């Protein structure tokens, strides 16, 4: 069987390539200004159909979202059968298809991909697609559908969903009716699974004061509210703010996890009541960070690193108490605060692995542990239980009533955690369970260790692809000479650490710096940003980078 060239050519003609359409499938798929994405979406639809055919008709996911990016941007990424990110070997095909300069070239590239990837076109294809709350989604989703239709893929429209809900659905479709069945393949099934697990873990405990959640004015707002209706406010008191996902210009604007993490302050116009718990989702609800103000009004961030420490410590206690002989490991990136890595290795005694930015890298590394906890400092992460650990959790015979209780909690935790990808709703529940069981205030959680002061800066450059890195992004290889200059700057600062890497989701280079004091961390960040700017920057050098 061969590609229906006429159908593809005709469909492609309705989705001409924009000269500025994104060139590479990056950290989280394609991302760019929404006006440039129509042809990219159509071509991703084609690729999703091919990917499903390659995998003998297993369901593939397509999520239309630009997550933390501003509202005018959009993006798209593919989800593989177990709910994980598209296998990296197929990213190049996505890039090739997106760059084909004409309808004719697209047909030729498509045929080439079919040949090189050895896709059997006679296989069926099934794709589930969803989108976040961006106004551009409506038309862009239609382009995806046109791509799927051109290759006769069976389609399931998940509609408005959070990114992790789409990942969940993909895994559910592919495991339905097997011993690994992940759950009901519906958003209601997702809510039921999480609510049941939460009820098991929370019943009979003293409730904590309500958690206030900033929904970034994104899809997380309606979805969190739907979930709260299922679980019941009496068992999970939550107040939502920044929860208007339909008002133009609102999404991620001065709020949300990315704003709070990078600005190190609460969402604009949210007054923090001292010692109360707050959390912020990002635009597609796959990230979460927590925070609170102390008695002097000082802001304290509890980011992905703090979540990793909290979760790892709790799970290690449950493993020990239940008598299960399995090991916990943690995966971080270069952005992890040095103090968090020290806490994990020296206080918790847990092995820590450092990998490049991007969920696919963390997820993959976490799979090598019995229980792998992975979190990026920006609040993206989850916990993975290996198949043998799941089997042990299900079959282990506890030696005492307290071991039985720990085991029951571990079993519920397996269902509470979305193991396909980082999930703001599920991670919110994970943190809340630990705080509930420990009866901890946010300050008690925060007391585990004190972050080294740090700063993250964006630098606009001529060509971010000119920046290449190694050693899990801790060293920059090109432009030549840059690393030596960074090393010199770092040497001058007590406790200094800094690295530079190209963003995979925005057109910029990111500079991270940490040091012993706030002022030296800021100085170091500014200095390294200045070095990058003078070497490869675009536009006038900003007076200050933050």
The binder of ligand G16 chosen from 73, 286, 321, 446 (CB under 6 A): 286
Stretch that binds ligand G16, among 116-124, 198-206, 281-289, 322-330 (CB under 6 A): 281-289
The binder of ligand G16 chosen from 140, 272, 339, 359 (CB under 6 A): 359
Closest CB 210 distance from ligand G16, rounded Å: 26
Closest CB 301 distance from ligand G16, rounded Å: 16
Closest CB 351 distance from ligand G16, rounded Å: 21
Closest CB 99 distance from ligand G16, rounded Å: 20
Nearer to ligand G16, 344 or 511 (CB): 511
234 touches 202 (CB < 8 A):
no
The verdict on 68 binding ligand G16 (CB under 6 A) reads: yes
The verdict on 24 binding ligand G16 (CB under 6 A) reads: no
Nearer to ligand G16, 257 or 326 (CB): 257
Nearer to ligand G16, 54 or 510 (CB): 510
Over 189-210, what HEC string results? HHHHHHHHHHHHHHCCCCCCCC
The binder of ligand G16 chosen from 12, 21, 27, 382 (CB under 6 A): 27
The verdict on 357 binding ligand G16 (CB under 6 A) reads: yes
CA 491, CA 208: separation in Å to the nearest integer? 45
SS3 84: coil
- Token pair, residue 244, equals 């208007």
8 touches 25 (CB < 8 A):
no
The verdict on 304 binding ligand G16 (CB under 6 A) reads: no
426 is catalytic: no
Stretch that binds ligand G16, among 169-177, 424-432, 438-446, 500-508 (CB under 6 A): 500-508
**Segment 505 to 534, residues that bind ligand G16, using CB under 6 A:** 505-506, 510
CA 330, CA 107: separation in Å to the nearest integer? 44
CA 186, CA 83: separation in Å to the nearest integer? 14
Count of C-beta atoms within a 10 Å radius of residue 180: 12
The binder of ligand G16 chosen from 28, 113, 231, 521 (CB under 6 A): 28
**Segment 374 to 433, residues that bind ligand G16, using CB under 6 A:** 376, 378, 380
Residue 17 CA from chain centroid, whole number: 28
The verdict on 103 binding ligand G16 (CB under 6 A) reads: no
Closest CB 441 distance from ligand G16, rounded Å: 28
- Count of positions on this chain that bind ligand G16 (CB under 6 A): 18
Distances (CA, A) of 40 to 20, 27, 51, 148: 11, 16, 16, 13
Which of the residues 67, 133, 322, 340 is marked catalytic? 67
Spatial CB neighbours of 9, under 8 Å, sequence gap ≥ 6: 103, 104, 106, 107
- Token pair, residue 392, equals 């042990």
Spatial CB neighbours of 10, under 8 Å, sequence gap ≥ 6: none
Give the H/E segment covering residue 241.
Answer: strand 238-241
Distances (CA, A) of 468 to 20, 25, 476, 478, 507: 23, 16, 6, 5, 15
The verdict on 358 binding ligand G16 (CB under 6 A) reads: yes
Give long-range contacts, CB 8 A cutoff, 24+ apart: 221-229. 221/245, 222/133, 222/160, 223/161, 223/162, 223/165, 223/187, 223/285, 223/425, 224/281, 224/285, 224/425, 226/187, 226/191, 227/191, 227/194, 227/195, 227/425
CA 121, CA 123: separation in Å to the nearest integer? 5
Stretch that binds ligand G16, among 14-22, 291-299, 355-363, 463-471 (CB under 6 A): 355-363
The verdict on 455 binding ligand G16 (CB under 6 A) reads: no
The verdict on 282 binding ligand G16 (CB under 6 A) reads: yes
Binding mask 360-379 for ligand G16 (x = CB under 6 A): ----------------x-x-
Count of C-beta atoms within a 10 Å radius of residue 140: 22
Total residue length of the chain: 546
How is 23-82 classified by DSSP, letter by letter?
Answer: -S-BTTBEEEEGGG-HHHHHHHHHHHHHHHHHTTT-EEEEEE--TTS-TTEEEEEEE-TT
- Known binding-site positions for substrate: 376-378, 501-505, 510
Nearer to ligand G16, 51 or 287 (CB): 287
For 22, phi then psi, to 5°, come to -65, 145
CA 349, CA 107: separation in Å to the nearest integer? 54
Nearer to ligand G16, 67 or 418 (CB): 67
Closest CB 291 distance from ligand G16, rounded Å: 18
Closest CB 469 distance from ligand G16, rounded Å: 11
Nearer to ligand G16, 146 or 376 (CB): 376
The verdict on 446 binding ligand G16 (CB under 6 A) reads: no
Closest CB 490 distance from ligand G16, rounded Å: 21
- Known binding-site positions for Mg(2+): 67, 282, 284, 286
**Interacting residues toward ligand G16 by CB under 6 A:** 27-28, 67-68, 282, 286-287, 357-359, 376, 378, 380, 503-506, 510
Where in the sequence numbering do the catalytic residues fall?
Answer: 67
């Amino acid at each position: 069987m061969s590609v229906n060239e006429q159908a593809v050519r005709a469909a492609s003609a309705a989705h001409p390539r924009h000269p500025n359409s994104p060139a590479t499938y990056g950290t989280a798929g394609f991302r760019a200004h929404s006006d440039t994405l129509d042809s990219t979406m159509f071509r991703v639809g084609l690729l999703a159909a091919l990917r499903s055919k390659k995998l003998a008709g297993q369901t593939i996911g397509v999520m239309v979202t630009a997550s933390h990016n501003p509202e005018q941007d959009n993006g798209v990424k593919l989800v593989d059968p177990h709910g994980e990110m598209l296998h990296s070997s197929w990213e190049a095909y996505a890039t090739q298809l997106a760059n084909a300069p004409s309808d004719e070239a697209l047909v030729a590239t498509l045929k080439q991909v079919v040949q090189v990837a050895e896709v059997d076109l006679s296989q069926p294809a099934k794709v589930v697609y969803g989108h976040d709350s961006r106004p551009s989604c409506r038309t862009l989703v239609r382009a995806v559908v046109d791509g799927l239709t051109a290759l006769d893929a069976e389609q399931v429209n998940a509609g408005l969903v959070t990114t992790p809900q789409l990942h969940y659905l993909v895994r559910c479709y592919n495991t339905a009716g097997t011993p690994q069945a992940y759950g009901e393949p519906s958003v209601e099934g997702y809510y039921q699974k999480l609510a049941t697990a939460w009820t098991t873990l929370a019943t009979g405990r003293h409730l904590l004061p309500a958690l206030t959640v900033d929904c970034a004015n994104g899809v997380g707002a309606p979805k969190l509210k739907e979930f709260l209706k299922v679980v019941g406010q009496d068992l999970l008191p939550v107040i939502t703010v920044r929860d208007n996902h339909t008002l133009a210009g609102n999404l991620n604007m001065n709020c949300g996890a990315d704003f709070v993490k990078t600005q190190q302050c609460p969402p604009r116009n949210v007054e923090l009541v001292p010692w109360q718990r707050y959390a912020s989702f990002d635009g597609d609800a796959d990230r979460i960070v927590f925070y609170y103000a102390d008695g002097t009004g000082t802001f304290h961030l509890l980011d992905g690193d703090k979540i990793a420490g909290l979760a790892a410590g709790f799970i290690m206690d449950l493993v020990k108490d239940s008598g299960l002989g399995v090991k916990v490991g943690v995966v971080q990136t270069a952005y992890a605060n040095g103090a968090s890595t020290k806490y994990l290795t020296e206080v918790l005694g847990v092995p820590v692995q450092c990998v490049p930015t991007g969920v696919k890298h963390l997820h993959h590394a976490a799979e090598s542990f019995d229980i792998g906890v992975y979190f990026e400092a920006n609040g993206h992460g989850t916990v993975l239980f290996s198949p043998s650990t799941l089997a042990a959790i299900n079959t282990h015979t506890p030696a005492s009533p307290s071991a039985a209780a720990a085991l029951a909690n571990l079993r519920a935790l397996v269902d509470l955690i979305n193991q396909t990808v980082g999930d703001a709703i599920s991670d919110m529940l994970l943190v809340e369970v630990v705080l509930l069981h420990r009866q901890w205030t946010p300050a008690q959680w925060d007391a585990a260790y004190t972050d080294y002061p740090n700063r993250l800066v964006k630098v606009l450059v001529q060509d971010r692809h000119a920046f290449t890195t190694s050693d899990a992004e801790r060293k920059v290889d090109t432009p030549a000479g840059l690393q030596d200059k960074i090393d010199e700057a770092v040497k001058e600062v007590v406790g200094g650490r800094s690295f530079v890497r190209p963003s995979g989701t925005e057109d910029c280079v990111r500079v991270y710096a940490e040091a012993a004091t706030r002022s030296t961390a800021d100085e170091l960040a500014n200095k390294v940003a200045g070095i990058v700017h003078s070497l490869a920057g675009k536009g006038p050098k900003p007076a200050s980078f933050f």
